[in-house]
Every structure is written in C-alpha cells, then in structure tokens.
Homo-oligomer: A and B are copies of this chain.
Amino acid sequence: VLASLCVMEPVASSGKGNNSNALISLRMILDPLFRYIESREHLSDEEKWALERSVGDVINVLAHKDIVAHGATPSSSSLILEGFACGYQVVAGRHRQITALHVMGDFVDLPSLLLKRADHPIAAVTQCRVAVVPHEALLRISDRHPRLARLLWLATLIEASADRRRLAVRRLPAPAHIAHLFCELFVRLKVVGLTRGNSYCLPVTQMILGQAVGLSSVHVNRAVQTLRGAGLINWSGQTVTIPNWTRLCEFAHFNPSYLHVDQLKLADTRTSRAAQRSDS
C-alpha cells in the first residue's frame, strides 16, 4: 500500500539484522522519549531493544508526496527520521488545513495503529526519510511490554495536547499566532537537536505556513513583516533566528508546558552535536 502511494526508494533492506544505519538513527531519536519514561520508571535494555528492532524499512519520500493517503488503512506506522512532514485535511474542497507540522522523531501515523482508518492524510513538506514500523510489531510490543505501550500512548497524548493548543491559539491576531508557531517549532526542534544557538532551519514556504495557521499566504507575509519590524524574529532563506526568546514568548503568549518536554532532561552535548551535523 505504502509503496504505491508515494515515490520511495528503499534505503535499508527490511531484514532485521543489517539495517544498522537505521538502528543508530532510531536509538538516537528514541532516546529522548526513553528518558521521559525513565524519569518515572526504569526501562530495561530488553524493552529498548524491542522497540528498536520493530523498525522495518527506511524509505525516502519526495516533497509534496503523501506519506499516508486519505482513507488508507495502513498496516504500518511511520517515524520521521529527517525532513518536515504535515498532517492535513481539505475543507469544503478548497482550503487545505494543516493540522500538525511534524519534525524528526515524530511518530506521525501512530493513531492508525488502533483507528483502523487513517482519518487524515500525511504529506511530506520537504523530502523526508521515514522509518516504517509494521503495526504487527507495535502490537506485539505493546502486549509484551506494558510500559512501552504506555510510551507510545504518551506520544499520541502529547500530539493531542499540541492540537488543543493550536485550537486555542487561533484566537490570537495573526502576528502573535505565527510567532507562537515559531516558538513551538524552536522548542520541538531543540528537543531533537536541530537548533543551533537561537536559530533553526525552517524549509517551509509562506503558503505552507498559512495553511498551518489558517491564514492566507498574503496575510502571513504581512504578519511576518510585522514580526521582523518589531525585531522579534529574523527569517531569511530557510533560517529562523530568534534574537530575544523571552520577548518572543511574551508576544506570542507561548508557554511550552503543553509540549510536556520539561521532564526530558536534555543533554546539551547532544543538542550541539546534532545541530552541527544538521547543516553539513
């Protein structure tokens, strides 16, 4: 199913043994989530391995192609290893509303594990490297390792929390709304080590941004210029820079608590190392 829906190119074979590259990335990506869980209860090596072993193929998806098509009944879930993706819905046949922007480490298709039918399509915004994890493996894991099941559940709960926040933030005027998105992306990218100092790479057009916040691309442009004029952000090329984090947060009414990363205890070394890699 997946193969027919998106332009893909197998990067690693599906054998459980020889996709060492994928395993390395996966361990790196899953690590923050492991820490989250371990801040409460210990996770055995066996449990960690069980999760890592579950990954099947790693595929590439070209920009603008669907990772999960509308109404599909996928038999596997997708973990973003690289690139930006989004979940979206088309309303009234005209407007495309992006419900979530996904970055490295997001388990984008996890809900389809239990919801037989994928209720919203997911598209690659840029070219993406995606790990495909068979549902079968996930279900087996969640049966044998209740704590891992809880980890997966937790991931979807955090997603849902972010969705609710997005719903509320719509009440803000356009500049604050967009600033809020910039704040959220900074925090989420920092978690996976994709920030460098106070800036990050945002390979997204203003039209995409508009579809994400529910504004026309023209108005996004004007709002961004407002932000630039106020010295709240710099955004040229694909680089977003935040001169004054505190001031931006206040302006955007941003409080990161809804992302539930405060217990992640990130190691700064990891953050900076990964950041260096990201711009090579």
A contact set with B: CB distance below 8 Å: 87, 89, 91-92, 95, 97, 99-100, 111, 114-117, 119-120, 142-143, 146, 149-150, 152-154, 156-161, 163-172, 176, 214, 253, 257-258, 260, 263
Contacts and interface: CB of A to CB of B under 8 A. Distances in A.
Copies of this chain held together in the complex: 2
Contacts of A170: 97, 170, 214
A164 B99 contact: yes
6 contacts: A114-B150, A115-B158, A115-B260, A143-B146, A149-B150, A166-B167
B164 A164 contact: no
A260 B164 CA distance: 19
Nearest to A93: B253
A160 B156 CA distance: 8
A182 to B, nearest CB: 17
Contact of A99 (B115, B156, B167): B167
A171 B95 contact: yes
Contact of A89 (B100, B154, B165): B165
A91 B168 contact: yes
A253 B91 contact: yes
A163 B163 contact: yes
B156 A159 contact: no
A263 B165 CA distance: 30
Contacts of A214: 170-171
Nearest to A117: B257
Given A115-B158, A167-B167, 11 more contacts: A97-B171, A114-B154, A115-B154, A115-B157, A117-B260, A119-B258, A119-B260, A146-B149, A152-B153, A153-B153, A171-B214
A256 B156 CA distance: 21
Nearest to A112: B157
Nearest to A110: B157
A272 B34 CA distance: 48
A43 to B, nearest CB: 14
B169 A91 contact: yes
B167 A253 contact: no
Contacts of A258: 119-120
A155 to B, nearest CB: 10
A205 B258 CA distance: 29
Contacts of A119: 161, 164-165, 257-258, 260
